[in-house]
Amino acid sequence: MNNFTYQCPTKVIFGKNSIKEIKNEIPKNAKVLAIFGGGSVKTNGVYEQVTQALEGFFVREFWGVEPNPRLETCQKALNLIKEHEIDFLLSVGGGSVLDATKFIAAAAKFDGEIWDIVGLRAKFSDAMPLGCVMTLPATGSEMNCASVISNGALKIKKSFKNPLVYPRFSIIDPQTTFSLPLRQLRNGIVDTFVHVLEQYATQDLSTDVQDGFCLSVLKAVIQNAKALESEPQNYDVRANLCWAATCALNGWASLGCVQDWSSHAIGHELSAAYGIDHGLSLAVVTTRLLRYNIKFKSTKLAKMGRELFALNGDEMSVAMACTHKIEELFASTGIATSLAELGLDKFEVAEQISNRFKERNLVAGEHANIDYKAVRQILLEC
Ligand code: NZQ
Ligand code: ZN
């Protein structure tokens, strides 16, 4: 096991009717900017609950953060912050709204070209405080300090991480997810699953506690994704999916481990180039990437295949069979798992995404072997 340091300052407030707790978490004299997406919160009662909880506070609203949030949108919020001397940000929505809020928090205090914040080209040493109401189980953004932002002009999607943008608090009321369209539930299930894989399916460093934790999160996702079909109104199913999504990317899974993140690296390029949903991009790429790198991943995938899918046989055949089980699992949610299902030509996509890696000298993966040539080969299998 590698050495590690872990600290997460986010206070998680989880459960039914927890949105009202906002009022106890934001300083009374704060000037709050509430940040929203495209309007889902107005149809599912979340906006009403947030507004009630914020009664008596100075509040301005910023609307219109889109899925795969853009730099250009975030820039508009900065004007409001200046105009009203805002000193606290509240994100209300899914991972995109929260990622945008984290970026805005950093950009508002940043002296320089704000696009430099992503990709960690520039370190920043200050950020506005922020809190969150998370309405979509997927990204884990509610308990981590990462954010992914797209630059519309450059057509580039990139992430950054900085402890300064941990939410001060995150409210997760699983009831808010009852209004999610099937498409977003599927995206979230795949995203959660792949977050665990990016951290678990790497070299074996005798991380017994972390491995057990990862497999238990994956098991919960498998069971509750299945239960969702027969019991879409079951609160506990929603609660388990929400907590699995948070736990999949709050740092616990990767303590002392080596991480990969190459499915995400390719997925972000697909989203930037073709506007594909984040979860969907992972459903297409992940299992092909696992097979491409199977020689590095066979020990962990075999362990997973035996424990989660009751597979038998030698390490390599169980590892391979495990990747097919993962693909079946994704397909069973109804999500597309190939480029053809998305109406995309794999030859054209492989060329374009491979060129994007080549032009920007991008290399990804735990063994830094996912370069433009590997990307082409992987996408030709998609
Ligand atoms: O915009 P509104 O109207 O709110 O609608 C949203 C949006 O259209 C809707 N939605 C959210 N909650 C809802 C709801 N609709 C009905 N009922 C609800 N309760 O869902 C749509 C998608 O929302 P979005 O926030 O884009 O989805 P998600 O949470 O999956 O976030 C995806 C973004 O997060 C990034 C992705 O790359 C992508 O940009 N990620 C962030 C990570 C992080 N910060 O750690 C890690 C992830 O790997 C990921 O990269
Ligand atoms: Zn993800």
Among 66, 104, 139, residue to substitute to test ligand 1 (most atoms within 8 Å of Cβ): 139
Mean pLDDT calculated for residue range 186-192: 98
Q: How far is the CA of 31 from the centre of ligand 1 (A)?
A: 26
Tens digit of pLDDT for each residue in 332-354? 999 999 999 999 999 999 999 99
Name the pLDDT band for 78 (thresholds 50, 70, 90).
Answer: very high
- 181: CB partners within 8 A, 6+ apart: none
> Which ligand places an atom closest to the C-alpha of 140?
1
Any atom of ligand 1 within 6 Å of the Cβ of 94: yes
- Rounded Cα distance, 199 and 252, in Å: 10
Tens digit of pLDDT for each residue in 268-289? 999 999 999 999 999 999 999 9
What's the order of all strands across the beta sheet hosting 58-62? 11-14, 169-172, 130-134, 88-93, 31-36, 58-62
Tens digit of pLDDT for each residue in 98-129? 999 999 999 999 998 999 999 766 678 899 99
Any atom of ligand 1 within 6 Å of the Cβ of 150: no
Q: What is the CATH number of domain 181-380?
A: 1.20.1090.10
Among 8, 35, 40, residue to substitute to test ligand 1 (most atoms within 8 Å of Cβ): 40
Percent of the chain at pLDDT exceeding 90: 96
The average confidence (pLDDT) of the chain is: 97
Name the pLDDT band for 236 (thresholds 50, 70, 90).
Answer: very high
Does pLDDT of 362 surpass 80? yes
Among 62, 66, 73, 99, residue to substitute to test ligand 1 (most atoms within 8 Å of Cβ): 99
Mean pLDDT calculated for residue range 22-35: 97
Residue closest by Cα to atom 26 of ligand 1: 67
Q: How far is the CA of 235 from the centre of ligand 1 (A)?
A: 20
Tens digit of pLDDT for each residue in 145-177? 999 999 989 989 999 999 999 999 999 999 999
Q: Which sequence spans correspond to the domains of the chain?
A: 11-176, 181-380
Mean pLDDT calculated for residue range 26-50: 97
Any atom of ligand 1 within 6 Å of the Cβ of 96: yes
Nearest ligand 1 atom to alpha carbon 66: 1
pLDDT for 124: 86
- Partners of 36 in the beta sheet? 92
Q: How far is the CA of 24 from the centre of ligand 2 (A)?
A: 31
Any atom of ligand 1 within 6 Å of the Cβ of 40: yes
Does pLDDT of 63 surpass 90? yes
Tens digit of pLDDT for each residue in 256-266? 999 999 999 99
Nearest ligand 1 atom to alpha carbon 149: 39
- 67: CB partners within 8 A, 6+ apart: 37, 94, 96, 277, 278
β 146-151/156-161 pair status: antiparallel
pTM score: 0.97
Question: Is domain 11-176 given the CATH code 1.10.1040.20 in the classification?
Answer: no
- Partners of 284 in the beta sheet? none
Tens digit of pLDDT for each residue in 295-316? 999 999 999 999 999 999 999 9
Please report the DSSP string for 184-212 in residue order.
HHHHHHHHHHHHHHHHHSS-----HHHHH
